[in-house]
Chains A and B, each alone.
Chain A
């Protein structure tokens, strides 16, 4: 089973997020980058499928992604392809670039994260499936391989799921919690050094969006309770008493 897995080097939403002075982008200072959380689950799932069914795992990153690709190699991916393209927020260009870059690869399955933790578009996977004209499923929480097919469960609202069967080759985007991603071991890091990380340049035309403005959302503020922990506790208890909750 040959698997291509997409991994993005993405800013952590928990890092310090500020608008740049041009008002059109996010200030990179203060941002902490790492493998996109959803992709971490996708890489783990790819490696597990390979461990069970054999084959090869090729990880693909768009833009600056060296650290993330190395991490994926250390987790157990076999080789990496880096596409040096700054697609910004435009998922269409990202998907098109990936399509071009993997055109010489043979694969049974493409795995991607449901979305990226920075822009939350949830587009690259399905756009790529559409461009490649292969069956797909999103927000998948379980994958089982059955000869030439996969049986997947995808997440619906309210705790429900739906089971679908897809012939291979197919593309799946995974939802968080599908597995427990492994830690990167020292041995893994050592072994990763000798693995191939190939750069593939591709030309993609213009995208379809242009950022006009990035800004902080207005928030309706809660009434803030201040003081030392004991004072806060007392005030909270008073609120609960007033409401008859204790």
Chain B
């Protein structure tokens, strides 16, 4: 089986998920090959790095590929895949990967399954993915096809599988003028508090129910000498500023204590806080996925537990 992994490059850097895609490729290729594709401008060092995990690395280099554009990415990939017929194409389930992968699939007339966390090609093609925001898993059988496209969840295929491949210049240039034009990168907004530097974070989720209840978290954070952060819905609702969002599209934090209040533990949130030294979660749902990453868990109502905690802390502080 020929398995192609399309590397993910962000701001000129090779994203670690690129190696994870090759780890998966090496697991499923059988006696076939794991091949990487790197697209961009000035990408030689990335290609060299990937060669340690691939049987072959295809380099598609052009000044017009410096900024990601889905139409250009799909155009150059189609040119490569017309010659080098892939059985399986693996793409990161990132903001960019998940955008161009479905277009590539339509053009290749290939079935696509997104955000996979498992792939078995030993007897037909079977992919595993989460549904209902992490509450259930599903195994889907994919109809027989010449080529399959998958987007792969990051952080799953971490076990490194070494190889030693050669880097080949694919000699491909974009052949279309994209309709969509890249204009600029927009930097994250900077606020007064930098949650990435905090030792103690009291983080609130949708369970906090209302902007006025944020006070409760603030009081607790102050007593603990920490800061307040939140999950995405809290920020979407305008209860906390954007720079306090923890997660894949927010900040990655690594405090000594992460106290998760009324947060379900969706993958996108976990990605931003899983490396905290101590995670304590309070949630009224005993099945909440957050208990899968926390060291200590409390099944309870935050409006009962947090006030009790505040009272006890006040007693101690006198």
Contact = CB atoms under 8 A, between A and B. Distances in A.
Interface string B32-58: 000000000000000000000000000
A177 B235 contact: yes
* Candidate in A19, A216, A219 with the most chain B CB atoms within 10 angstroms: A219
A233 B139 contact: no
A137 interface: yes
Interface of B: 10, 68, 70-71, 94-96, 98-99, 102-103, 105-107, 111-115, 126, 129-143, 145, 178-189, 200, 224, 232-233, 235-236, 238, 242-243, 245, 248-252, 256-257, 264, 278-281, 289, 291-300, 304-305, 307-309, 311-313, 316
Contact of B249 (A126, A130, A158, A165): A158
Prevailing SS type, chain B contact patch: mixed
Q: Is the interface of A mostly helix, strand, loop or mixed?
A: mixed
A234 B249 contact: no
Given A229-B300, A245-B257, 5 more contacts: A11-B132, A164-B180, A176-B236, A224-B299, A237-B312
Given A219-B291, A232-B298, A126 B141 contact: no
A240 B280 CA distance: 10
A222 B295 contact: yes
B132 A219 contact: no
Nearest to A31: B132
Contacts of A176: 232-233, 236
Nearest to A231: B308
A220 B281 CA distance: 14
Nearest to A120: B131
Contacts of A212: 126, 139-141
A240 B257 contact: yes
B249 A159 contact: yes
B133 to A, nearest CB: 4
Contacts of B184: 162-163
A93 B193 CA distance: 47
A47 B44 CA distance: 47
Interface string A130-171: 110011111100000000000101111111111111110010
B37 to A, nearest CB: 20
Contacts of B243: 159
A245 B256 contact: yes
Contacts, number: 247
Nearest to A167: B179
A225 B70 CA distance: 48
Contacts of B252: 158
Interface of A: 11, 13-14, 17, 19, 26, 89, 92, 117-123, 126-127, 129-131, 134-139, 151, 153-167, 170, 175-177, 180, 206-217, 219-226, 229-230, 232-234, 236-237, 239-240, 243, 245-246
B200 A225 contact: no
Given A139-B95, A164-B182, A222 B294 contact: yes
A209 B136 contact: no
Contacts of A229: 300, 304-305, 307-308
Given A136-B70, A229-B304, A236-B309, A166 B188 contact: no
B291 A221 contact: yes
Given A120-B133, A246-B313, A223 B297 contact: yes
